[in-house]
């Protein structure tokens, strides 16, 4: 069987072209560039790399960026209050908070203070709640990126989907979004028993476990669609959860790492931002 390898660069490019057109429309109406606040609470090398890639893409799209390095501060200073003050001062059109969150950051409080109309990652309590009951506005960008890739293959609602991840930014929101479109979904995680039996009976497998080349051909059925969200460094290279060499020729479709879901996720972030920004201008929001 021929295995189609997804071209994330081409796919994300189409999203970017639409976003760039919306940015120009925003500028023509508001007389200024849209603003994106990028909050980095860790300043790790990984988040700095991701932050630079977002800034580079924002520049190409015509979006102004404001990086904020949020650190634990003195006894009389609360980092969450600092963030709230910055939001008021910058008045951004979208907010991104880099992950993973450090131990000192109260994620629940953070997800409550970010206004829903600025929550382009779909992490706020309101955004997650709306997705849970089947009325999403914006869902987390990684989950939406996976959805777009899946839907580009055709909406076959009879397919069984296995998601190996239960986080609030991938597994859970993706499962809810797919259920709303009538897919049959199984969510697996580190405590799941008989994982291989479940994956072998699934038409589509989405993995985000971050274990290098963990799934080989023995985990999949003939013609399976494999969407790889995992990223791990192995022998100096970034690789995904699926062993590309092993599954090639048995899977019908696979997203590579790097160059697959990653670039689509970044493009979706900016698409979400401009959707929300234009909805605010045109008063289509109901928050």
Question: Where do the structural domains in the chain lie, given as residue ranges?
Answer: 33-117, 141-263
The predicted structure's pLDDT at residue 287: 46
Domain 141-263 has CATH 3.40.50.720: yes
More confident residue, 13 or 125: 13
CA dist., res. 162 & res. 285, Å (int): 33
The model's pLDDT over 54-75, given as tens digits with 9 standing for 90+, comes to 899 999 999 999 988 877 665 5
Give the pLDDT confidence score for residue 75 in this predicted structure: 54
**Residue 202: C-alpha distances to residues 3, 114, 170, 226, 274 (Å):** 17, 37, 18, 10, 35
Residue with the bigger pLDDT between 151 and 110: it is 151
Q: What is the pLDDT of residues 210-227, one digit of tens each?
A: 999 999 999 999 999 999
Q: Assess whether the region 33-117 and the region 141-263 belong to the same CATH fold.
A: yes
CB-CB neighbours of 146 under 10 Å: 30
- pLDDT of amino acid 86: 85
Give CA–CA dist 16/61, Å, rounded. Answer: 7
Question: Could you tell me whether strands 160-164 and 184-188 are parallel, antiparallel, or unpaired per DSSP bridges?
Answer: parallel
Find all residues with CB under 8 Å of 11, minimum gap 6, and list them: 148, 149, 152, 263, 264
Tell me: pLDDT of 45 over 80: no
CA separation for the pair 37, 45 (Å, rounded): 19
User: What average pLDDT does the segment 122-141 reach?
Assistant: 82
171-188 pLDDT tens trace:
999 999 999 888 999 999
For 232-285, how does the pLDDT look when each residue is reduced to its tens digit (9 = 90+)?
A: 988 888 899 999 999 999 999 999 999 999 999 999 999 999 999 998 887 755
Q: Is the peptide bond before 141 cis (omega within 30 degrees of 0)?
A: no
Q: What's the token pair of residue 190?
A: 């580190």
One CATH from 3.40.50.10860, 2.40.40.20, 3.30.365.10, 3.40.309.10 for 33-117: 3.40.50.10860
d(CA 161, CA 184): 6
């Amino acid at each position: 069987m021929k295995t189609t390898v997804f071209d994330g660069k081409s796919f994300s490019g189409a999203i970017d072209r639409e976003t760039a057109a919306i940015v120009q429309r925003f500028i023509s109406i508001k007389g200024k560039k849209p603003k994106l606040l990028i909050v980095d609470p860790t300043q790790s090398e990984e988040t700095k790399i991701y932050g630079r890639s977002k800034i580079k893409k924002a520049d190409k799209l015509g979006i102004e960026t404001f990086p904020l390095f949020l650190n634990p501060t003195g006894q009389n200073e609360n980092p969450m209050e600092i963030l709230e003050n910055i939001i008021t001062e910058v008045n951004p059109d979208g907010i991104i908070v880099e992950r993973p969150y450090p131990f000192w950051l109260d994620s629940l409080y953070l997800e409550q203070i970010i206004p829903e109309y600025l929550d382009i990652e779909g992490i706020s309590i309101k955004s997650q709640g709306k997705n849970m009951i089947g009325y999403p506005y914006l869902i987390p960008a990684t989950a939406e990126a996976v959805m777009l890739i899946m839907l580009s293959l055709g909406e076959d609602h009879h397919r069984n989907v296995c998601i190996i991840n239960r986080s609030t930014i991938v597994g859970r929101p993706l499962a809810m979004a797919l259920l709303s479109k009538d897919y049959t979904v199984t969510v697996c995680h580190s405590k799941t028993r008989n994982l291989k039996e479940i994956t072998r009976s699934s038409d589509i497998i989405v993995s985000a476990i971050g274990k290098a080349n963990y799934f080989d051909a023995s985990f999949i059925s003939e013609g399976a669609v494999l969407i790889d969200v995992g990223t791990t460094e192995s022998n100096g290279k970034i690789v995904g959860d699926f062993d590309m060499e092993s599954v090639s020729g048995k899977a019908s479709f696979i997203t590579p790492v790097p160059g697959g879901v990653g670039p689509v996720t970044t493009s979706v972030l900016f698409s979400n931002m401009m959707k929300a920004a234009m909805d605010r201008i045109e008063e289509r929001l109901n928050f």
